[in-house]
Structure 1
Amino acid sequence: MAAYFFGISGAPHMRGWHHLYPALPAFHGREQLRAGIGALIGISMCALIVSFGESYGASSLYLVAPLGATAVLVFCVPNSPLAQPWSAIVGNVTSALVALAAIQNVPAPWSAGIAVGGAITAMMFVRALHPPGGAVALLTALDPAPALKTGPLFAVMPIGLTTTALVLTAIVYNRVTGRVYPFRQPEPEEAHEPEQRLGLSTEQLGELLERFNQSANVGIADLGRLLAAAEAEAAQHRFDGTTCGDVMTTELVTVRLDTPLLEAAGLFRGHKIKSLPVVDSDMTLHGLVLQADLLAGFAGQDGPTALRQRSLRRSVSEVMRPAVRAVSHDLPVGALLNRLAAQGSEVVPVTQGRRLVGILTRSDIIGLLLQGAEDRLPE
């Protein structure tokens, strides 16, 4: 009977009970202890600053209750946009200023609503939405005497100073305990691990957040990380643990560092290949020569005679590119999908240690994708 009452039964008229269940998943490991100790340290640091200020006669410096809510955000959900330093500090300070203006110009009891509503609007306007800011505004309206006595300085001390102290403590504590705070901001000038961004630009990720009205809940960089992790997991299931070593081409045509360009050109022409790995006698990989690199090595000559004379003196070591995109033979092949599809790579060297053991091309991936295609065709 109890199970039926709490919605475990499949009865249609009782299925709505699951909407009342906890929305948060269970916290893993010692996260509860980590967050709790962080809040303890953070609020204690604020109390220490207040105590120090009082000893010097700073009567306007004291703790305010909304700091407890700020502590929940910066220590429990440090990846939330609502918990970031700008949101916390500017949000609380802005709310205090708006609330001060409300209690000075609007009579009670209307000042409370005006203070909270105005604070929310102002925080959104300056892109510093911080839920404890609403509590700052309400507290100021309900107990206006300290704010009226201190004046505009009330927004700086105690609100701004204590919030800043709490945020600084959170930055240090989260970093020390393995959490990223402040959260990752996108850097469009730099290409950080492009293969982990699904081929989506920062603008496109931002548009996704806007479309689903989630800009206040998750940052752009973290959304990219989550989507990339989901793609990698899906690819792992799709290819059933297939590694680069399982599908790579092992019949290799290679050159040495001192191989002349003309000889390399002959290998390209004779084997109909698109790349030449540059190795030494024990197959240690040094670089990669593409057809475009070879053409660039021949470019800029005065004529056929000068071309031949100069090319006889040049080797592939002068035109090769570093093999920075080489991958390990045991890397799941799904991890390369975005690089081959979206990043323009056509060939990826596969190594075991530093030794070249194979080459992975788009053709190898296409062949893998087509395996069993006949079985999937509709009859």
Structure 2
Amino acid sequence: MRIWHHLEPALPRFHNGEPLRAGIGALIGISLCVGLAYISAIYGQASFYLVAPLGATAVLLFCVPNSPLAQPWSAVVGNISAALVALVAVWYIPGPLAVGVAVGAAITAMMFLRALHPPGGAVALLTALNPEAAFAAGPWFALVPLGLATVVLVLSATVYNRLTGRKYPFRLPKEEPDHAPPRLGLSTEQLGELLDRYNQTTNLGVADLGRLLAAAEAEAAQHRFDGTTCADIMTTDLVTVRPETSLADAAGLLRKHRIKSLPVVAADGETLRGVILQADLIDLIAAQARPLARRPRVLRRRVAEVMHSANRAVPHDLPVGVLLNRLANEGSDVIPVVKDTALVGIITRTDIMRLLLQGADERAAA
């Protein structure tokens, strides 16, 4: 039974209509290549035809579009370089030995070029086993039909995957976006180093690892604090201002109520527009060359000119554990809480400290 267990499928069941989505995509991509080959034949251009390894390329591009092995550089450069290396091998090495050399050298070349693409091994094998057709086309065999057909597949995969909800090609941002999900505090560069350390760079992309870590972190956060949500700890007795409110009036409200932030709402009194902080006013005044002389002019400006955007607002039903993870990575003095787009409360550092101190006495006694 233990031996049979190791022979069971390693892949999990595919969700929803993923098998059908991938199958239809491959059908479209290969059909486009067939159509181009048919048109080429009509116009007497027999150089464009299909080779079997393109079917394996279609599997990667449409079934696992996020894989590093399926990205455009890997697919196009991998197939082309494998064909060129195989042509050189069968030209200079006679006999059956050329077959093994062609495949081994193609794999080595693809890895050196950072273009590892499994169908490239099949390209090299096909070329070594049937070199006559490749020799008839010469070095152009690597570009037409092989390179051109691979480009057609990549272009069709780009359009089809994006239309069906998959990102392809999967390009990594040069810098971390502000809205990047928490991933145990690891940057994209650190995630890449982690994959490299465990020699997993060809099995899993950095973006996939980041999403998995973010999902795992969010799942764990949902189980913290016994299901407490932002609505359970937020402050609901709010003092708000409008975007057209003057900074002088906003400063008066901050001083009167002894608070450090003011949510900015639209004319309906509910829709959140932003947040203005006490620190914003202090920084604005301090930035003037003559603060005492220019303070009245500064305070005549409107709240809308200096307020922070509302893009850091959180939904009322967000688990507090997820919020704390986000604050650990981004940091913030105040977090607006919304239901749809309506402001329903704010979470301050005091609210968070109160939450963290809940049950402290019991924990200390234990």
Structure 1 Cα separation of the partners of residues 305 and 28 of structure 2: 58
Distance 1:303 1:115, change over 3 A: closer
- Report the CA distance between 1:270 and its aligned residue: 5.7
Distance 1:331 1:67, change over 3 A: same
Deviation by residue 1:98-148 (Cα, 9 ceiling, x = unmatched)? 000001111121111111111111111111100010011011111111112
Partner of 2:311: 324
Structure 1 Cα separation of the partners of residues 357 and 270 of structure 2: 31
Partner of 2:7: 20
Please state if 1:359 is matched with 2:346.
yes
Please state if 1:214 is matched with 2:232.
no
Structure 1 Cα separation of the partners of residues 291 and 54 of structure 2: 77
Judge which range, 247-256 or 62-71, deviates more.
247-256
Deviation by residue 1:40-96 (Cα, 9 ceiling, x = unmatched)? 232222222222222233333322111121121112111111111211111000000
Counterpart code for 2:290? D
The number of aligned residues is 364
Please state if 1:277 is matched with 2:263.
yes
Distance 1:290 1:175, change over 3 A: same
* SS of equivalent to 2:14: coil
Structure 1 Cα separation of the partners of residues 59 and 301 of structure 2: 65
From 338, 359, 362, the counterpart of 2:325: 338
Structure 2 Cα separation of the partners of residues 236 and 78 of structure 1: 30
Deviation by residue 1:297-336 (Cα, 9 ceiling, x = unmatched)? 32315364x2554466455454333333222323333332
Structure 1 Cα separation of the partners of residues 130 and 203 of structure 2: 31
Structure 2 Cα separation of the partners of residues 316 and 35 of structure 1: 51
Gaps of 5+ in 1: 1-6, 8-13
Structure 1 Cα separation of the partners of residues 238 and 127 of structure 2: 75
Partner of 1:132: 119
Distance 1:364 1:109, change over 3 A: same
Please state if 1:151 is matched with 2:138.
yes
Preserved CA contact (<8 Å) 2:248 2:300? no
Distance 1:298 1:173, change over 3 A: closer
- Report the CA distance between 1:189 and its aligned residue: 4.1
From 284, 290, 314, the counterpart of 1:302: 290
Structure 2 Cα separation of the partners of residues 200 and 331 of structure 1: 22
Partner of 2:174: 188
From 101, 106, 129, the counterpart of 1:114: 101
Preserved CA contact (<8 Å) 2:285 2:291? no
Structure 2 Cα separation of the partners of residues 370 and 33 of structure 1: 52
Partner of 2:213: 227
Distance 1:155 1:360, change over 3 A: same
Deviation by residue 1:182-208 (Cα, 9 ceiling, x = unmatched)? 22x221246152244553222111112
* SS of equivalent to 1:127: coil
Partner of 1:3: none
Distance 1:138 1:313, change over 3 A: closer
- Taking only aligned residues, the RMSD between alpha carbons, in angstroms, comes to 2.6
* SS of equivalent to 1:151: helix
Preserved CA contact (<8 Å) 2:176 2:188? no
Correspondence list, 1:86-101, <5 A: 86-101=73-88
Counterpart code for 1:220? V
Structure 1 Cα separation of the partners of residues 194 and 90 of structure 2: 40
Structure 1 Cα separation of the partners of residues 178 and 34 of structure 2: 40
Structure 2 Cα separation of the partners of residues 37 and 283 of structure 1: 47
Counterpart code for 2:228? T
* SS of equivalent to 1:214: coil
Distance 1:164 1:227, change over 3 A: same
- Report the CA distance between 1:354 and its aligned residue: 4.2
Preserved CA contact (<8 Å) 1:340 1:346? no
Preserved CA contact (<8 Å) 1:339 1:345? no
Gaps of 5+ in 2: none
- Report the CA distance between 1:223 and its aligned residue: 2.0
Counterpart code for 2:136? K
Partner of 2:69: 82
